[in-house]
Amino acid sequence: MTAFDLHQGDCLEGMARISAATIDLVVTSPPYNLGIAYSRYSDRLDRDTYLDWCHKWADELRRVLKPEGSLFLNLGASPSNPLLPHELVLRLRDLFVLQNNIHWIKAISIEDVGGLTTSRGHFKPISSPRYLNDCHEYIFHLTPEGKTPIDRLALGVPYSDKSNIARWGHTRGKDRRCRGNTWFIPYETIQRRAKERPHPATFPVQLAEWCIKLHGIARVGTMLDPFLGIGNSAVAAKRCGVKHFIGFEIDEEYLVETKRRINAE
């Protein structure tokens, strides 16, 4: 049974009340500064101001994280502004080590040996003579020292060539290998965005679940999301049986939706 501690307000003020080294896991996605139409936040800061602000909340996250904690930071870009996620991570390198760089694939097309192309997932089409459709985002796995153990096989997949099971000693006879750092997690199909996904920028619940499992469910006593949105990380925490979840959200309507969705689980 997950105990929820949800607060309306600025995450910087909220995190200041959390004791140091008490958080095991953070899964979050801050505003991307790409002009997204949030109801209570201006997503159009100048670049330096935005990066300085990010460093402030990351500094608080570094303070509250345990030495072997994990911060899974979901960041996206736009075709005309592709460097922003990388600039942000570089800005945080005095606080965190980039332990794993995960690519969240939202849509993909695969051609088989017979030439048949299968497309899966959802993306926002781009009408441009210069840019490709943007079908992925980043999940930066940041840790205090770069030494945080992870449960690599919690997201494991079967071997396609079963002979590898006996050939490689590290398999220990099990048909399960590390999934790697490309995660195909499509959005669920919805009919009415205003009712089913009333937030302009969310990650799927499954993405947060995979982050929890990769860190190791048994090692998550307290989980934090400083940019709660409509609570997908909170729903994931409940599904995974996380003991204690703390969340901050500046928008009252989003927080109400978070509580509704938690109760609906």
Greater model confidence, 187 or 197: 187
* Residue 86, number of CB atoms within 10 A of its CB: 13
Q: Tell me whether residue 63 is in a domain.
A: yes
> What are residue 85's DSSP bridge partners?
none
Total domain count, the chain? 1
Contacts of 73 (CB under 8 A, 6+ apart): 26, 28, 29, 30, 89, 139, 140, 141, 142
Could you read off the pLDDT of 136-174 as tens digits, one per residue? 999 999 999 999 999 999 999 998 888 888 887 777 878
Tell me which of 117-121, 165-169, 232-236 is least confident: 165-169
Instruction: Report pTM.
Output: 0.91
Q: Tell me whether residue 12 is in a domain.
A: no
Q: Tell me whether residue 60 is in a domain.
A: yes
Phi/psi for 131 (5° steps) reads -115, 150
Tokens linked to 175: 């048909």
Residue 199 predicted with pLDDT over 50: no
Which pLDDT does position 40 carry in this prediction? Answer: 53
State percent of the chain over pLDDT 70: 91
Which pLDDT does position 4 carry in this prediction? Answer: 98
Tokens linked to 96: 């965190």
Q: Tell me whether residue 231 is in a domain.
A: no
Q: Tell me whether residue 121 is in a domain.
A: yes
- Of the pLDDT bands very low, low, confident and very high (cuts 50, 70, 90), residue 34 is low
- Report the CATH number that the domain containing residue 177 is assigned in CATH: 3.40.50.150
The whole domain housing 181 covers 22-217
Q: Tell me whether residue 193 is in a domain.
A: yes
Q: Tell me whether residue 234 is in a domain.
A: no
Q: Tell me whether residue 15 is in a domain.
A: no
